[in-house]
Amino acid sequence: MEDLSPALGKLRAALSPEQERVILKNLMKQKLKFPEGFLWGASTSSYQIEGGIDNNDWAISKKVPRAGKACDSYNRYREDFSMAKYLHHNAHRMSVEWARIEPKKGQFNEDALHRYHEMLQYLKDQGLKTFLTLHHFTNPIWFAEQGGWKNKRAVEDFADYTAKVTQSLGHLVDFWITVNEPKMYAGMAFAQGIWPPFEKGIISPKRVYDLMLEAHNEAYDVIHSYYPQAQVGFSQNIAWSEAEHKDIIDRLAIKFADWLSYLALDKTRYDFIGLNHYMYYRVHLAFNLRKYLHIGRGDKLTERGWAIHPDALYLVLMKLKGYQKPIYITENGIADSTDRYREQYIRDYLLAVHRAIGDGADVRGYLHWSLLDNFEWEDGYKWKFGLIKVDFKTLARTIRESAYSYSHICQDNALTV
Ligand code: GCO
């Protein structure tokens, strides 16, 4: 074999040390492949982006900000989905608004169903797989007035609504998410009293949570009665928590919180696990309950004050591995108005996902929260979670730099490190 040393020597002499460093770095780059057919995309929810929804329990409440026009995605969905396609997403998670579809109990609005049909069809035409959420925190007014998720009738009402959506849209849905974050919803609306109906109960949060899981199970059966092969699950928000001082009380508190999260997976039927992941906590019981949860010390915090700790995602995925079902990450993201941290955030969290897959977790997709800046519930438009920036005055969309870097990962089905 020819001796290349003299040629290499010449080449090195011609390079500056900096150029040599860059070349070596590039040569050492490694492509971490994701499994064949991995789904890449982003998530949204109806009330947070659609605009023009004035007949759900949020829209009529005076205690919380309203979404108003939001991103006007109900009308601009073609633009939004085209951008997702352009960014090499091959899947998208959206939700349908129950209040639009069933504004009065038992009366279904065919125009709304038609619009959702167009949206899903548009996604399919672009070659994207569809994830459809049926309930993402908001309720029709008639449903809220009859006691909402505290009333046992909720289960039957949700089943009727699910049947209607399945009949009308089922052929366009690849993955169903019946309810989004039932534990979070029960806590925010019925324990902390921050979301409608603003209750601060002690017993009712658990009842609401249980009823939502029961409603999920019913919906699971309804969807399967039309489409036996359907992929049906729900999305659960699962954090990773550690005791700050290995204190017994703190450990018990964590055990309780975990029990609350994971009981949903023991009580329900599902074809896949939908994981929403954002949080890492160091727990230390303080007398002041407000200080109970210490956000991870030493970690960088997002603008929203959530710790950036990718290992937390790895650890949650390793725990979920035990349930032996495919896992889709249906939300993970960062409030970052400057877009200075999002690219790295995505890369670090995906590295954790890749490691978990290598260690046996059956993760099959990653849907970033969110495609667009949107309405962030009790905080209104304060937080910017979008891969795409939205100017809420003009509604102009601008693709952020981080969206392009995520796009390369989607296109390559690999993370280059
Ligand atoms: C949730 C929701 C989303 C939020 C997102 C960022 O987890 O609360 O599913 O609606 O917008 O989590 O806060």
Residue-wise pLDDT tens digits, 8-18? 888 889 999 89
Of residues 247 and 64, more confidently modeled: 64
Question: pTM for the complete prediction?
Answer: 0.94
- CB-CB neighbours of 107 under 10 Å: 9
Q: Given a cut of 80, is residue 154 above it in pLDDT?
A: yes
For ligand 1, what atom is nearest to the CA of residue 304? Answer: 13
Beta bridge partners of 273: 327
For ligand 1, what atom is nearest to the CA of residue 137? Answer: 10
Q: Is 385 in the pocket of ligand 1 (CB under 6 A)?
A: yes
Instruction: Please give the structure tokens belonging to residue 294.
Output: 């210490």
Sign of CA dihedral 297, 319, 233, 153: negative
Is the Cβ–Cβ distance between 49 and 71 less than 8 Å? yes
- CB-CB neighbours of 318 under 10 Å: 15
Q: Which of 98, 100, 105 is nearest to 136 (CA)?
A: 98
For ligand 1, what atom is nearest to the CA of residue 376? Answer: 11
Note the CATH number of domain 33-416. 3.20.20.80
CA distances to 43, 348, 369 from 332, rounded to whole Å, are 9, 12, 5
Please work out, in degrees rounded to the nearest 5, the angle formed at the alpha carbon of residue 125 by the alpha carbons of 121 and 131.
Answer: 55
For ligand 1, what atom is nearest to the CA of residue 235? Answer: 9
Residue-wise pLDDT tens digits, 318-355? 999 999 999 999 999 999 999 999 999 999 999 999 99
Q: Is 43 in the pocket of ligand 1 (CB under 6 A)?
A: no
pLDDT at 12: 87
- What confidence tier does 297 reach under pLDDT thresholds 50, 70, 90? low
Q: Is 130 in the pocket of ligand 1 (CB under 6 A)?
A: no
pLDDT at 9: 87
What are the φ/ψ torsions at residue 165 (nearest 5 degrees)?
-65, -40
Q: Is 180 in the pocket of ligand 1 (CB under 6 A)?
A: yes
Mean of pLDDT over the chain: 95
pLDDT at 290: 55
Burial 280-314 (b: 16+ CB within 10 A, else e): bbbbbbeeeeeeebeebeebeebeeebbbbbbbbb
Q: Is 95 in the pocket of ligand 1 (CB under 6 A)?
A: no
Is the Cβ–Cβ distance between 176 and 233 less than 8 Å? yes
Q: Is 369 in the pocket of ligand 1 (CB under 6 A)?
A: yes
**Which H/E stretch holds residue 124?**
helix 110-125
Mean pLDDT of 134-145: 98
Q: Which of 410, 337, 349, 374 is nearest to 44 (CA)?
A: 374
Residue-wise pLDDT tens digits, 177-199? 999 999 999 999 999 999 999 99
Integer Cα distance of 200 and 257 in angstroms: 18
Residue-wise pLDDT tens digits, 84-101? 999 999 999 999 999 999
Q: Given a cut of 70, is residue 292 above it in pLDDT?
A: no
User: In a 3-state reduction of DSSP, which class is residue 353?
Assistant: helix
User: In a 3-state reduction of DSSP, which class is residue 280?
Assistant: strand
pLDDT at 250: 85
Measure CA 254 to chain center: 23
Residue-wise pLDDT tens digits, 194-248? 999 999 999 999 999 999 999 999 999 999 999 999 999 999 999 999 988 878 8
d(CA 351, ligand 1 centre) in Å: 22
pLDDT at 253: 87
- What confidence tier does 288 reach under pLDDT thresholds 50, 70, 90? low
d(CA 276, ligand 1 centre) in Å: 8
Residue spans of beta strands (DSSP E) within 311-362 = 327-331
CA distances to 44, 54, 257, 311, 322 from 262, rounded to whole Å, are 24, 34, 9, 19, 11
Q: Given a cut of 60, is residue 32 above it in pLDDT?
A: yes
Instruction: Please give the structure tokens belonging to residue 411.
Output: 């296109």
Residue-wise pLDDT tens digits, 356-413? 999 999 999 999 999 999 999 999 999 999 999 999 999 999 999 999 999 999 999 9
pLDDT at 283: 83
d(CA 216, ligand 1 centre) in Å: 19
pLDDT at 318: 98
pLDDT at 163: 99
Mean pLDDT of 106-125: 98
Q: Is 237 in the pocket of ligand 1 (CB under 6 A)?
A: yes
The fraction of the chain above a pLDDT of 70, given in percent, is 97
Q: Which of 346, 335, 353, 320 is nearest to 389 (CA)?
A: 335
